[in-house]
Structure 1
Amino acid sequence: MAFLAEPIPPRQIPLPVIPGVCRIVAPNAGPMTYHGTNTYLIDMPDGVVVLDPGPEDAPHLRAVAKATNGRAMAILLSHGHADHCAGASMLADMLGAPILGHESFTSRVASITGRLRHGDRIGELTCLHTPGHAMDHLCFALPGGIVFSGDHVMSWSSSVVPFPSGDMRAYLANLEMLRDRRDHLLLPGHGPAVPSPSTFIDQLIDRRLKREGAIMKALGSTNSTPEELVHRLYEGRASPVWRAALHNVRSHLEKLQADGRVVSVEDGRWQAVASSEQREIYCL
């Protein structure tokens, strides 16, 4: 599928996205973060909401604090991965604002002061619980078909579903949920906006299902470890991509096992379930 690209953005500068929304791109570029984390500032009638402060980088966080113009009402976290939330406490000290995340929020580098559930409202934003990439992942919807999609849907790359903290079945189910909303713009946690989200999400789903098919083909009639499967499927790719691929393959295997298509055997190896065995499983 065709992913989207953009030039390296300036740092510590609010960049207009749509009316009432700007982003400041954090200086944490890398193979898993593209040019860096998008920290969004969202104007509300009662103040400014900051979504995903990003890393604990003082110049970045000072720029975010300045851009709120003393009107910060809350800091929202899409999920507990460090590239999105490590700077939350420092920013909260600067702004005197609460830090809000999903009720299942888990992080080694941040904590929240208020808990959110699916359907909760923060000003004009509606919380959408979208577990998969992370079990505490939230997207946030504005009226008019605009969704801040965090790492659930990104424009520059497909998302990693880490093992064991992620869930491939939930990820695919929530891709379908977001697609079926028929929104007209996604604002992701990294990279540029996604126009025509339904078509883009369909391509992401197709990409993951094709990866499942490739895993089944790579297994064939033998048994293999996840590492052996990654070597076959991603031969020649760089090590950061290889590590992400291992997480995705492991999560795919867990989903395929739940679907009755593979089984875990000795020494961390996996094998495909013969079609007759599959029929037996589905009849139980």
Structure 2
Amino acid sequence: MVQIPPRPWPTGTPEHPEPLVTRVLAPNPSPYTFTGTQTYLVGSGKDRAVIDPGPNDPEHLAAILEAAGEAAITAILCTHTHRDHSPAAIPLAEATGAPVMGCAKLVIADNGPRADEAFDTTYEPERVLEDGEEVSGDGWILRAVATPGHTSNHLCFALEETGALFTGDHVMGWSTSVIVPPDGDMGEYLASLDKLYQRQDRVYYPAHGAPVEKPQQLVRSMLGHRRQRERQILKALNETALTLPEFIPIMYKGLNKKLEKAAQMSVHAHLIDLERRNMVNRIDERWTAL
């Protein structure tokens, strides 16, 4: 388990990982958001795009506006609509007049305890970006890269000028992404990882955690990790039929109790994917190998 680093964190303080990119950390740390959601401002000229404005928090909104300074905010882009990413889009649009765009609207019924952030019901984009579509401003072009899996509406955004990719929750700098059915889809997630592996991005800027300086190396490792989980599941099922909770002590030794639900959802996503591929079967609450 990755430990959250000790405080102080740079919450609300603009940071500049490269000339066209400013990062502002939101005050929403948790076991699923690490030190908080990182909002990015793109541009160094007369205007800025804001990627993942984050939670609807007055202090964070003020920090975004302060980071933009005299530059106009002309585009508000969301990678997906979990509540730690998009709720600030509405108040930021009201404050700046900028259009909200990016991922499609998505609200899933919540029928029980979640292992990730619930969906934002307030999100209303003026423009939904399809794979390959672009948004531009003074000295910057951002291109949408469709990466479903963590959520069905997830997008990454490629900064054409520098080779940077803003990866939202698809690839994070501190942990692997949580895939929560029914909207989260392990098969799509793996296909999206492979899609990124085929690209030549220079650096990833995730919504949580440090920049990824060796993107292809990390993505290759992530793909290997997921395939290893598949092998663990199949090995366990070759020995006996199991219910979902019974996988956890076998596959996640010494896991923090607070993360058991997330681990169950990840295993469930793998099982659904394996079931589609005719490798496992489900009878009532128990899973078996085929």
* TM-score, normalised relative to structure 1: 0.90
Question: Post-superposition shift, 1:145?
Answer: 2.1
Moved more, 13-22 or 216-225: 216-225
Q: Kindly provide the amino acid, as one letter, of the partner of residue 227 in structure 2.
A: L
1:1-284, aligned counterparts within 5 Å? 8-43=8-43, 47-69=47-69, 70-103=71-104, 105-106=106-107, 107-123=120-136, 124-143=141-160, 144-265=162-283, 267-273=284-290
Q: Secondary structure at the match of 2:41?
A: strand
Looking at structure 2, the residues matched to 17 and 5 of structure 1 have their Cα atoms a distance apart, in angstroms, of 19
Residues 147 and 7 of structure 1, relative CA distance in 2, 3 Å threshold = farther
Looking at structure 2, the residues matched to 173 and 2 of structure 1 have their Cα atoms a distance apart, in angstroms, of 25
**1:81-124, Cα deviation, whole Å (9 max, x unpaired):** 00111221122111121111223544324222221111110110
Please name the residue that 1:277 is paired with.
none
1:82 touches 1:109 (CA, 8 Å); kept in 2? no
Aligned residue-pair number: 272
Residues 203 and 6 of structure 1, relative CA distance in 2, 3 Å threshold = farther
Segments ≥4 residues shifted beyond 3 Å: 1-8, 103-107
2:158 touches 2:164 (CA, 8 Å); kept in 1? yes
Question: Post-superposition shift, 1:162?
Answer: 0.9
Structure 1: state its 5+ residue gaps. Answer: 274-284
Question: Post-superposition shift, 1:56?
Answer: 1.1
Question: Post-superposition shift, 1:149?
Answer: 0.7
Please name the residue that 1:279 is paired with.
none
**1:180-236, Cα deviation, whole Å (9 max, x unpaired):** 102120010111100110011000000111011111112224221111112322243
Q: Secondary structure at the match of 2:158?
A: strand
Question: Post-superposition shift, 1:270?
Answer: 1.0
Looking at structure 1, the residues matched to 123 and 208 of structure 2 have their Cα atoms a distance apart, in angstroms, of 19
Looking at structure 1, the residues matched to 243 and 220 of structure 2 have their Cα atoms a distance apart, in angstroms, of 30
1:39 touches 1:51 (CA, 8 Å); kept in 2? yes
* TM-score, normalised relative to structure 2: 0.88
Looking at structure 2, the residues matched to 122 and 8 of structure 1 have their Cα atoms a distance apart, in angstroms, of 35
Please name the residue that 2:113 is paired with.
none
1:25 touches 1:38 (CA, 8 Å); kept in 2? yes
Looking at structure 2, the residues matched to 89 and 199 of structure 1 have their Cα atoms a distance apart, in angstroms, of 37
Question: Post-superposition shift, 1:13?
Answer: 1.4
Looking at structure 2, the residues matched to 3 and 187 of structure 1 have their Cα atoms a distance apart, in angstroms, of 20
Looking at structure 1, the residues matched to 29 and 203 of structure 2 have their Cα atoms a distance apart, in angstroms, of 24
Q: Kindly provide the amino acid, as one letter, of the partner of residue 169 in structure 1.
A: G
Moved more, 97-106 or 137-146: 97-106
Residues 183 and 23 of structure 1, relative CA distance in 2, 3 Å threshold = same
Q: Kindly provide the amino acid, as one letter, of the partner of residue 135 in structure 1.
A: S
Q: Kindly provide the amino acid, as one letter, of the partner of residue 172 in structure 1.
A: L
Root-mean-square deviation (CA), in Å?
Answer: 2.1
Please name the residue that 1:276 is paired with.
none
Percent of aligned positions with the same letter in both sequences?
A: 38
Question: Post-superposition shift, 1:44?
Answer: 6.3
Looking at structure 1, the residues matched to 230 and 209 of structure 2 have their Cα atoms a distance apart, in angstroms, of 26
Structure 2: state its 5+ residue gaps. Answer: 108-119
Looking at structure 1, the residues matched to 20 and 100 of structure 2 have their Cα atoms a distance apart, in angstroms, of 21
2:19 touches 2:44 (CA, 8 Å); kept in 1? no
